[in-house]
Amino acid sequence: MLLQKGHWLGRGSVLVEGQSLGQTAECDVRIEQDTGGFTLHAELSVQDAERRDLVIRIAGNEVGTYTLRVQSGAEVLNGTAKLDSPPNLGLLWNEAENVYATFALFAISNGCGCRGFIRDGLTTFTWEIAFALQQEVVKGDNVISLNRRVRGRRR
């Protein structure tokens, strides 16, 4: 599975149908794993829009796929996904069945990518975001560098 626990940072774009230029999107995601699946806590910022907090739950089910739940405030999308092997695909919808989203996850050189579509009423959006796992920096007084550098030049 492409998902793994940790702190992921994403950057990409969102394009509204009919427009020629996309808007910059940034996403900060913390993934936690437990025996039942994964919980993702995400902050999504899209240029010219307010920041959105998302909570995403991904849990395996009895038929070999995954059950999804995405919540942003009072808005909830439920769905299903196949995430154990390529192509990694998912489909989400709201209870009123007037909002639909699809996505694909795929490996890239330094992490994973996510592409998808969302249809909200009469508007269709598409997005593409590349995610990279952030390494936690461990600092300590007992760590020294064997390669001393002076800013701007090497010795």
Locate the domains of the chain by residue range. 6-154
Q: Does the structure show a pLDDT above 70 at 139?
A: no
Tell me what percent of the residues of the chain surpass a pLDDT of 90: 67
In sequence order, what E strands does the chain have?
6-16, 23-34, 37-46, 52-60, 66-72, 75-82, 88-93, 99-108, 111-120, 123-134, 149-150, 153-154
Residue 113: exposure state from Cβ atoms within 10 A (0-12, 13-18, ≥19): middle
Write down the pLDDT at residue 155.
46
Q: Which residues contact 95 (CB under 8 A, 6 or more apart)?
A: 76, 78
What percentage of residues in the chain have a pLDDT greater than 70?
A: 86
Q: Which amino acid is at 66?
A: Y
**Does 3.40.50.300 match the CATH number of domain 6-154?**
no
With 70 as the cut, is the pLDDT of residue 41 above it? Answer: yes
Q: Is the pLDDT of residue 44 over 50?
A: yes
Confidence (pTM)? 0.82
Q: What is the pLDDT of residue 99?
A: 95
